[in-house]
């Protein structure tokens, strides 16, 4: 049986992935956990512990093979797969995500955008058509869509999410400022931008009070 | 001396703020910690503990005064202030943030966008001009800019951040996929979108393996 990995470890994996990719781009193919620790900012013991969750990869006296570790972490993150993806809500944020080529390169293939506002329906973002949200469920079923990105206003997010789940989506990347209440077997990852900005303003104020 | 509040508590505050705002919009002015717990999804004891960090607000047998609690948390989050803000990088994401009126309403007043690409310089997003990044430092000093949002490619983010710090910025909201290395007294809050998406794909794969 697979061991339960903590969310804290899981959230560090993409960071390992990013740093290992940078190393490969700089043609560094071998690295000690101490050196890795210096660039990534986790302790060497933290790194060994994290990676031991997945069987460990380092060799005593050799360190890590960067290519191998990168490829293993990619696989752990599911990046050896491709995911048919749609974006719901074709406002500024939805368009920005559709335009960002990095997601495509990592296997998240954006197939279409959906929108309720008739002004947008029929327009194109890159080569992607903006479709009527009314046909979304049918589209998901017919095109084997795995992931939906919710970029709608908060008022419609829950309703959209219900429809997505009913149509058989596996994962939701939610940018709407609501906590979705969902039954069933769907994975939700939230990006709450306003909460992030408010954290920044908290820290700013705390700092100013400390120096007063 | 102010007590050190943990980041976990701090990151929950914007969520309290959001739920209290919803309650006020629904004209609910008084709530028990048990009811608050049910809608927000933290335990009642967690809520009491969190709020006790800031002096506690509930009254035995009465619960919380929603308006008062909302206003106190707003103040704790620094939302009674306004923050002159700039966006660096006027690509899709920078434009999406400039176009989102919610940030303005919360006191983050976006004053200008800066861009290195001459094709963008001089254009307008809403009533905001896109200025040459060469004049950014001067603009920060002259316009009392507190917060900068970095929406540049990763290659230029560190250089931009160094210039921002030198010009006297207080806080950076960083969307570039790098961990900025900064000296001095600047607060950085990161939004690593790719890491969030990779977490989603990890969880999707984990779920599929569990049901295999």
ipTM of the complex: 0.94
Closest to A201 (Cβ–Cβ): which among B79, B95, B179? B79
Beta-sheet pairing, A187-190 with B108-115? unpaired
| Average pLDDT, integer, range B106-113 | 96
Residue B209 or A187, more confident:
A187
| Tokens found for residue B68 | 């008062």
Contacts with A62 (C-beta within 8 Å, 6 or more apart), sequence order? A30
Give the model's pLDDT for residue A39: 93
Closest to B78 (Cβ–Cβ): which among A77, A187, A204? A204
Give the model's pLDDT for residue A3: 62
Closest chain A C-alpha to B29 CA, distance in angstroms:
20
- The yes-or-no verdict on residue B1 having pLDDT over 50 is no
Count other C-beta atoms under 10 Å from residue B153's C-beta.
13
- Give the three-class secondary structure for B53: coil
d(CA B15, CA B19): 6
The tens place of each residue's pLDDT in chain A, 212 residues long, gives 456 788 899 999 999 999 999 999 999 999 988 899 999 999 989 998 898 888 767 777 778 999 999 999 999 999 999 999 999 999 999 999 999 888 999 999 999 999 999 999 999 998 999 999 999 999 999 999 999 999 999 999 999 999 999 999 999 999 999 999 998 789 999 999 999 999 999 999 988 887 77
| CA–CA distances in Å: residue B160 to residues B50, B124, B134, B164 | 36, 21, 10, 6
**pLDDT digits over B174-193, tens only?**
999 999 999 878 999 999 99
| Tokens found for residue A196 | 């992030």
**Rounded to the nearest 10 degrees, what angle do helices A44-52 and A33-40 cross at?**
110
Residue whose structure tokens are 């048990």 = B34
Count other C-beta atoms under 10 Å from residue A27's C-beta.
7
| A185 assigned to a ligand binding site | no
**pLDDT digits over B158-179, tens only?**
999 999 999 999 999 999 999 9
- Backbone dihedral region of B63: left (phi > 0), alpha (psi from -120 to 50 degrees) or beta? left
Closest chain A C-alpha to B15 CA, distance in angstroms:
7
Q: Which of A177, A172, A181 is nearest to A150 (CA)?
A: A172
Instruction: Name B108's bridge partners.
Output: B83
Give the model's pLDDT for residue A1: 40
**pLDDT digits over B36-88, tens only?**
999 999 998 999 889 888 876 777 777 899 999 999 999 999 999 999 999 99
3-state secondary structure B117-185: CCCCCCCEECCEEEEEHHHHHHHHHHCCCCEEEECCCHHHHHHHHHHHHHHCCCEEEECCCCCCCCCCC
Domains (range + CATH), chain A:
7-76 (1.10.10.10), 83-195 (3.40.50.720)
| CA–CA distances in Å: residue B45 to residues B7, B30, B38, B52, B112 | 18, 18, 12, 10, 44
Chain B neighbors of A196, CB-CB under 8 A = 14, 173, 189, 191
Closest chain B C-alpha to A46 CA, distance in angstroms:
18
Q: What is the dihedral of CA B55, B56, B60, B61, to 10 degrees?
A: 150
Residue whose structure tokens are 């994975």 = A187
Chain A neighbors of B5, CB-CB under 8 A = 206
| Tokens found for residue B198 | 């990779």
Chain B neighbors of A203, CB-CB under 8 A = 10, 171, 187, 189
**pLDDT digits over B14-37, tens only?**
999 999 999 999 999 999 888 999
Give the model's pLDDT for residue A61: 75
Question: What average pLDDT does chain B have?
Answer: 92
- The yes-or-no verdict on residue B128 having pLDDT over 50 is yes
| Tokens found for residue A95 | 């368009």
Chain B neighbors of A204, CB-CB under 8 A = 78, 83, 146-147, 170-171, 187
| CA–CA distances in Å: residue A54 to residues A45, A76, B153 | 15, 8, 32
Q: Cβ-count burial of A211 within 10 angstroms (0-12 exposed, 13-18 middle, 19+ buried)?
A: exposed
- H or E segment and range at residue B202: helix B193-210
Q: Which of B144, B142, B138, B146 is nearest to B172 (CA)?
A: B146
Give the dihedral sign, CA B106/B107/B111/B115: negative
Give the model's pLDDT for residue B3: 62
Contacts with A93 (C-beta within 8 Å, 6 or more apart), sequence order? A151, A175, B96, B100
Residue whose structure tokens are 């979304």 = A136
| A84 assigned to a ligand binding site | no
Give the model's pLDDT for residue A41: 92
């Amino acid at each position: 049986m697979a061991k339960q990995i903590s969310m804290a470890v899981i959230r560090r994996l993409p960071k390992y992935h990013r740093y290992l990719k940078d190393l490969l781009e700089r043609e560094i193919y071998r690295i000690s956990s101490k050196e890795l620790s210096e660039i990534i900012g986790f302790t060497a013991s933290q790194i060994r512990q994290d990676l031991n969750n997945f069987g460990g990869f380092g060799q005593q006296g050799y360190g890590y093979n960067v290519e191998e570790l990168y490829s293993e972490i990619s696989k752990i993150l599911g990046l050896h797969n491709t995911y048919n993806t749609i974006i719901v809500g074709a406002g500024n944020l939805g368009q920005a995500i559709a335009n960002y080529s990095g997601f495509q390169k990592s296997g998240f293939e954006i197939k279409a955008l959906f929108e309720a506002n008739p002004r947008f329906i029929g327009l194109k973002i890159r080569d992607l058509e903006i479709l009527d949200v009314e046909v979304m469920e049918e589209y998901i079923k017919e095109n084997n869509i795995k992931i939906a990105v919710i970029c709608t206003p908060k008022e419609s997010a829950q309703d959209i999410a219900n429809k997505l789940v009913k149509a058989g989506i596996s994962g939701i990347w939610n940018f709407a400022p609501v906590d979705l209440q969902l039954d069933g077997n769907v994975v939700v990852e939230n990006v709450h931008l306003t909460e992030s900005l408010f954290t920044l303003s908290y820290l700013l104020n705390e700092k100013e009070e400390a120096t007063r």
